[in-house]
Amino acid sequence: MTATTSWELDREHQDFRASVRSFVDRQVRPVVEESERAGRSPAALLKEMGSAGLLGLAVPEEYGGGGGDTVAMVVLSEELARASGGIAVTALVTGYMATPHIARFGTAQQRARSLPGLVSGEKIAAIAVTEPGTGSDVAGLTTRAAPVQGDGEAAEGFRLDGTKMFITNAGIADVFVVAARTSPDGHRGITTFIVEAGHPGLRLGRPLRKMGWHASDTREVVLAGCVVPGDAVLGTPGRGFHQIMSAFQLERLTLAAMGLGHAGECLRAATGYARDRTVFGAPLLSKQVRSGAIFVDSADKAARFITMCDAFNVPLIFLHDVPGFMVGAAVERQGIIRHSAKMITAMASAEVPKFSVILRKSYAAGYYAMCAPGFGPRASIALPTASIGPMAAEASVNAMYARKIGEIGDPGERDAYIGARLAEQRADINLLRLASELVVDAVVEPAGLRAELIARLAGAENWTRGPQRRHHHISPV
């Protein structure tokens, strides 16, 4: 497969997604419950994945792999996770977290011995880096690899001693990629080794109890006097840290794609339930409370998302599609008070190009606060079906003074307070002129929206699609 430079999948990757989704629906979903109870993924299913070419996208074709690209691996991760996180991570660890080490850094003999079986699913791989006191801080690992002297001066092998924790696939693995310290020189003193299951000195703990992903076998791995030959070294001695960190890039992408798959499946299940569930004589989806709940949950996350987009130089498009507000309802009042300020602040401080698109309805107060001075869009674009309506003074008061109103216990005092605030709002010339001052830069048909945004993005000053800007509070992965 060839990598795509578009924001959308090309036809080849779309077809691959359809193929993987079909496989998941036919082969994976029927065994999820059984796998969760058993605490491991079925060996037969992993072999089926191998036969379907799903475990070898990162392996050269000469060893039976598919020669796939990163986009294909991300698509695979997302689709597997839609059905089961446990089964997905089992396949992804063997195929895309452990096996790539052998494919990239192994000798010809190591590749020939291990890769064909791993690609076919006949063998399973695990990677043993994490320790009880060391996670992503790879340079801090303490497992030792001491040289074992032979008859000559050169080391005949290495004695591995240490404990690894939270090792996925440990109980079903045939091959382990193990990271150990060969010298005390921090990140320069780490070497990786290939250790086969059952090797003397390698012992497995009991399956760990987890909150989820029960179909993934996860255990402690103990190395106690585990002597391996010199040809078990994987890659360059002392370069294990660099090898691991380079492999982490694919690991992070696949795990992020798993999160996307989980979220997509949750959204599908939630919307299906809300559509089919009837309450008070109507579908649950028709009840306005969903808007308030989503607003409260998403505004805080939106602030983080905006900050990340700004850090990685990704343009922002704010879509207005608001069929109605629940101003006055407790759930929305809390969302407005607690979270909107974070989101507006993040939008105001973002330096990447920003655009506002009105799909159906945008209330003037929200549009003005979140898009005009706050969002600062390069352009405001509307579909022909869009409209901008002023928020009533009463609604504005309820939103702006919700906390104070809620603190007034006496009904008479509360009504008097609201009345005074209403008088102020109606006398505010800026508020009355608000709706008439809102204009859009272009009205386009839905089919032309993408082209319009691309054209305006191409003309945006001081921005080019390229490397991220490094913010001090963001660590690029």
Rounded-to-integer distance, Cα 87 and Cα 369, Å = 46
The answer to whether the Cα torsion of 237, 243, 245, 248 is positive or negative is negative
Query: What does the pLDDT read at residue 248?
Result: 86
From residue 324, alpha-carbon distances to 289, 397, 458 in Å are 10, 17, 34
Strand 155-168 to 144-149 pairing:
antiparallel
DSSP-derived letter for residue 427 is H
Separation of alpha carbons 227 and 158, rounded Å: 5
H-run or E-run covering 370: helix 364-370
Nearest to 201 by CA among 226, 164, 232: 226
- Of 79, 251, 332, 452, the active-site residue reads 251
Half-sphere exposure of 52 (CA within 13 A, CB side): 20
Give the burial string for 45-62 (b: 16+ CB within 10 Å, else e). bbebbbeebbbbbbbeee
Return the pLDDT at 469: 39
Residue 332 has a CB neighbour count (10 Å cut-off) of 22
The burial class, CB within 10 Å (0-12 / 13-18 / 19+), for 146 is: middle
Mean pLDDT per 10-residue interval, the chain, length 477 residues = 51 92 96 95 97 94 88 93 96 96 96 97 97 86 90 77 96 97 90 97 94 94 96 95 90 88 83 78 61 42 66 72 45 47 66 76 49 62 65 56 76 86 62 44 82 78 47 29
Res 289: pLDDT = 42
Task: State the amino acid at position 82 in one-letter form.
Answer: R
pLDDT of residue 345: 64
Between the CA atoms of 390, 393, 395 and 397, what dihedral angle is there, to the nearest 10 degrees? 140
Domain boundaries, the chain: 126-246, 288-458
**pTM of the complete model:** 0.63
- Per DSSP, 122 falls in state S
- Is 364 within 8 Å of 388 (Cβ atoms)? yes
CATH number attached to the domain at 288-458: 3.90.226.10
CATH of 126-246, one of 3.90.1150.10, 2.40.110.10, 1.10.490.10, 3.20.20.70: 2.40.110.10
**Rounded Cα gap, residues 115 and 263, in angstroms:** 33
CA-CA distance, 425 to 420, in Å (whole number)? 9
DSSP-assigned beta bridge partners for residue 229: 157
**Is residue 164 within a helix (H) or strand (E), and if so which, with residue range?**
strand 155-168
Q: What is the model's pLDDT at position 297?
A: 42
| Separation between Cα atoms, residue 9 and residue 286, nearest integer Å | 33
Closest CA to 325 of 283, 355, 282, 370: 370
Q: Distance between CA 331 and CA 291 in Å, rounded?
A: 10
Both tokens of residue 414? 């509360």
Q: Among residues 162, 160, 156, 122, which one has the least CA distance to residue 140?
A: 162
| β-sheet with 379-382: strand ranges across | 316-320, 354-358, 379-382, 442-443
Can you read off the two tokens belonging to residue 279? 């309450």
CA separation for the pair 448, 438 (Å, rounded): 22
Residue 251 among the catalytic residues: yes
In terms of DSSP bridges, do strands 282-283 and 278-279 run parallel, antiparallel, or are they unpaired?
Answer: antiparallel
